[in-house]
Amino acid sequence: MQRTNGKTPADRVATAAESARGRATGTLLDKILPYRINRLAFQMNRLLNADLRKHGLQISHWRILAVLDASTKSTINELSAYAMLEQPTVSRLVARLEQDGLVRRERIDPDGRVVTVSLTRDGKRKYDTVRDLSLRHAGRATHGLSEAERESLRKVLDRMSANLDYSLEEIEAGDA
């Protein structure tokens, strides 16, 4: 690992994150849970991405592979929805993954506009290699939490997600 001024890249990221936390403590942002969740996801993704690069992947590639591992075949629109990426981005990622031999595209309608995407054997092997890595990173964030705390957190996140199906007016009127 390359060092600059005696610090590794991970040390510098940790220092920057600590500094940002110090500035945000006690601010309005510190009180907004979605901001804090997004910040946590950003930190986790940055750390995971650094390890994925060692395997020739980025987090967006990993998301596509993870969706395909769970669903066997998906359309570009399905991948976009599940991987939380814009459709044009998914199209480019799939083209790159196909070029790397990790996925295959298959046209499924007569005019060729609808395409399904699936993992190749090499794609499945690559995903299996990094799946445990991603689970270890997720475990890092929940280290020290009991199973009951993890389950409570899952329920809270599910509820927050469900709340987004309601308008602000419905929430404020107590109709949610």
Total of domains in the chain: 2
Which residue range forms the structural domain that includes residue 131?
A: 56-143
pLDDT at 85: 93
Nearest to 52 by CA among 121, 111, 135: 135
State the pLDDT at residue 55.
Answer: 94
What is the structure's pLDDT at 26?
A: 73
Q: What is the pLDDT of residue 1?
A: 47
How does 118-128 read in b/e, with b if 16+ C-beta sit within 10 Å? ebbeebbebbe
pTM value? 0.74
pLDDT at 16: 58
Whichever domain contains 69, its CATH number is 1.10.10.10
Q: In this predicted structure, what is the pLDDT of residue 68? A: 95
Q: What is the structure's pLDDT at 21?
A: 56
Question: Same structural domain for residues 167 and 116?
Answer: no
Determine the residue type at 94.
V
Q: Is residue 64 in some structural domain?
A: yes
Which alpha helices (H) appear in the chain, and where do they start and end? 9-24, 28-31, 33-53, 59-71, 76-83, 87-99, 121-141, 147-163, 168-172
Query: With a cut of 70, which residues of the chain have pLDDT below it?
Result: 1-25
The answer to the question of residue 33 being in a domain is: no
With a CB cutoff of 8 Å and minimum separation 6, the contacts of 17 are 43
Residue type at 114 in one-letter notation: V
